[in-house]
Amino acid sequence: MSTPKKLFIKTYGCQMNVYDSERMAEALGGQGYVETTSADEADMILLNTCHIREKAAEKTYSELGRLKALKKDKPDLKIGVAGCVAQAEGAEIMRRQPAVDLVVGPQSYHRLPEMEAKTRTGATALDTDFPEEDKFEKLASRPKAKRGPSAFLTVQEGCDKFCAFCVVPYTRGAEVSRPVSRILDEARDLVERGVREITLLGQNVNAYHGAGPDGSDYTLAKLIWDLDRVDGLERIRFTTSHPNDMTDDLIEAHGTCAKLMPYLHLPVQSGSDRILKRMNRSHTADSYLRLIERIRAARPDIVMSGDFIVGFPEETEADFQATLDLVEEVNYGYAYSFKYSTRPGTPAAERAQVDVAEADDRLQRLQALITQQQHAIQNDMVGRTVHVLFEKPGRLAGQMGGKSEYLHAVHVDNANVEIGQIAPVRITSASTNSLAGVLV
Ligand code: 5AD
Ligand code: SF4
C-alpha cells in the first residue's frame, strides 16, 4: 500500500477561510492526501490567504519566498495559494514566485482535485473563476470522521453592500445563499459526527435568502428555526451580520429560540454619521443604537460584539469622538478595531488619508475603551452560573475547557465531564482572556 501524501494548509483571516480550509482538505482527501501540521513533511502546501487589509499580498509573497527553499530538498513538493489573495492577484502570483504550482480562488476550490492532478504532470494550475455551478454541490461529501463539538457551516457567501473601504464584494463576489436542504443535510451530518454547536457563516449572513423546500426564499431566522429541530444540535450561532439585515423575525428568534446563543456580532464601523455616509454603510449611529435596544428587549442578557475602523479617510477628532460615544453607549463584550487600510480598487482608496500617527493614537484609545468594557463584562460573570460546552482538556491535569453561551472561554479544574457535554458552571474568577469556574 502506498503511504498517503501529506497536506499542510496554513489559514489566514476569517472563519470562512477556516471552513474553506477544512473543505479543501476533504476535497484533496480524495486524491490520497492526509493533513499534517508540519510544513517540512508536506507533499503539498496550501496557503489559504486573506486580503481584507493591506500587506496581505506582501505577506503571502514573503511566506512563499520562505517555502520555496523546501523545494530544494523535495522537488516534488507542490505549493498552492488559495483564498482572497489568490482571487485578487491571480496569475501574477506565479509570475512573481515561480515556485508556485497552483492558484485557486475561493469560488472554485471544488476543482482542486483536477488541479492537483495537473500539477503532478509538472504543469501549473490556475482557477480564479466565479463558476455558475455551486462549489458546495460539487465538493465530495465530508468523510464520516469524528469531530470536535463546535463547527462552522457556510450558508451564504459574498456581499452586495460595497462599503467604500472593503474588498469583499470583489474577492468573494456577489451574495449567494445555499439552499436550505443542503444546509440541513450538512448540519445533520456534523451532528452525527459529534458536533453540538454550529456557527452559520456568511460575509453577510443575515442577508441569507436561500431556497426553501418549496422553492420560496427563506430568511436566516427561518433557517435557524429549521436547525432548531435537528436533534442533537444544541447551539446555534451566526456571523457576520449587517445592521440593515437584522429583520424582525431574527430579532425575535433571539428571544424565543433556546438554541440560539445570546451573543451577536454586529459591526458598525464608526459612530459618526458623516463617516458612515462616506463609508456607504446606509445606516446611522442612531439607527444602530435603536436596533440594539430592540435586540436587547428581545434578549436582555445578549453580549454584543462589533467591528470598528479608525482613521477612515477624512475622519476628524470629532468623528472619532462620536465612535467612542457609541461604544460607551453600547457596552461591548468583545469588539475588533482596525486602522483603516487602503485597498486598491475600492472607492475610499482615492480619498485624503488621515495622518498615520493620528490613526495609531485613535486606535489605541478605542482599544483601551473596548478592553475596559470587555473586562467589566467578564468580571460581571463572577458568581453567575453559565452553561459551558466542553471542547477540550485544559492545560493542567484534570482541567477541561469550553465556551459559555456568551462565548467566553471557561475552564474548570477536576471536571468530570466529557468533551461535547454541556454543563452548568458557576464562575469563580475572571482573568484577561478566560473565566474559571466550578461545576454546579
Ligand atoms: N481597512 C481596515 N479594516 C477593514 N475591514 C474591512 N476592510 C477594511 C479596511 N480596508 C474590517 C471591517 C470589517 C472587518 C472584517 O474588517 O471592520 O467588519
Ligand atoms: Fe465588506 Fe461587510 Fe461592507 Fe460587505 S457589508 S462590503 S463584507 S464590510
Q: What confidence tens digit (pLDDT) does each residue in 221-280 have?
A: 999 999 999 999 999 999 999 999 999 999 999 999 999 999 999 999 999 999 999 999
Domain closes at, from 220, 246, 261: 261
| 363, part of any domain | no
Are 237 and 169 part of one and the same domain? yes
Q: How far apart are CA 207 and CA 160, in angstroms?
A: 10
**Mutation to probe ligand 2, out of 208, 242, 268, 312 (largest number of atoms < 8 A from CB):** 242
CB 393 within 8 A of CB 400: yes
Considering its fold, how many domains does the chain have in total?
A: 3
In this prediction, residue 142 carries a pLDDT of 59
Are 151 and 115 part of one and the same domain? no
Q: What is the distance, to the nearest Å, from the Cα of residue 265 to the centroid of all Cα atoms in its chain?
A: 11
Query: Residue 113 pLDDT more than 90?
Result: yes
Are 101 and 158 part of one and the same domain? no
Query: Residue 436 pLDDT more than 70?
Result: yes
Q: What confidence tens digit (pLDDT) does each residue in 358-373 have?
A: 999 999 999 999 999 9
CATH number, position 429 = 2.40.50
Question: How many Cα atoms sit within 13 Å of 317 on the Cβ side?
Answer: 3
Question: Nearest ligand to the C-alpha of residue 50?
Answer: 1
52 CA to centre of ligand 1 in angstroms = 6
Are 172 and 256 part of one and the same domain? yes
In this prediction, residue 141 carries a pLDDT of 64
Domain closes at, from 261, 292, 320: 261
C-alpha cell of 223? 433557517
In this prediction, residue 405 carries a pLDDT of 98
Strands of 248-348 (E only): list them: 263-265, 303-310, 334-339
Residues 6+ apart with CB under 8 A from 28: 7, 44, 112, 113, 116
312 lines ligand 1 (CB under 6 A): no
361 lines ligand 1 (CB under 6 A): no
Are 117 and 12 part of one and the same domain? yes
What's the Cα-to-Cα distance from 341 to each of 51, 165, 283, rounded to whole Å? 11, 8, 22
Q: What confidence tens digit (pLDDT) does each residue in 115-136 have?
A: 999 999 999 999 998 887 778 8
| 421, part of any domain | yes
Closest to 13 in 3D by CA, of 78, 79, 45, 59: 59
Question: Nearest ligand to the C-alpha of residue 309?
Answer: 1
Are 114 and 172 part of one and the same domain? no
Residue nearest to atom 13 of ligand 1 (CA): 307
| 360, part of any domain | no
Are 99 and 204 part of one and the same domain? no
In this prediction, residue 76 carries a pLDDT of 94
165 CA to centre of ligand 1 in angstroms = 7
Q: Note the residue count of the chain.
A: 440
| 349, part of any domain | no
Q: How confident is the model at residue 146 (pLDDT cuts 50, 70, 90)?
A: confident
| 153, part of any domain | yes
165 lines ligand 1 (CB under 6 A): yes
Domain closes at, from 203, 227, 261: 261
| 18, part of any domain | yes
| 296, part of any domain | no
166 CA to centre of ligand 1 in angstroms = 6
309 lines ligand 1 (CB under 6 A): yes
Q: How confident is the model at residue 140 (pLDDT cuts 50, 70, 90)?
A: low
CATH number, position 13 = 3.40.50.12160
Alpha helices in 135-243 (DSSP H): 135-138, 168-171, 180-192, 220-228
338 CA to centre of ligand 1 in angstroms = 7
**Across 80-90, average pLDDT:** 94
In this prediction, residue 145 carries a pLDDT of 76
Query: Residue 381 pLDDT more than 90?
Result: yes
In this prediction, residue 143 carries a pLDDT of 64
- Residue 112: which domain range? 5-127
Q: What confidence tens digit (pLDDT) does each residue in 172-217 have?
A: 899 999 999 999 999 999 999 999 999 999 999 999 999 999 889 9
**What average pLDDT is seen over the chain?**
94
Residue nearest to atom 5 of ligand 2 (CA): 161
Are 11 and 64 part of one and the same domain? yes
Query: Residue 31 pLDDT more than 70?
Result: yes
Instruction: Characterize the bridge pairing of strands 5-11 and 33-35.
Output: parallel
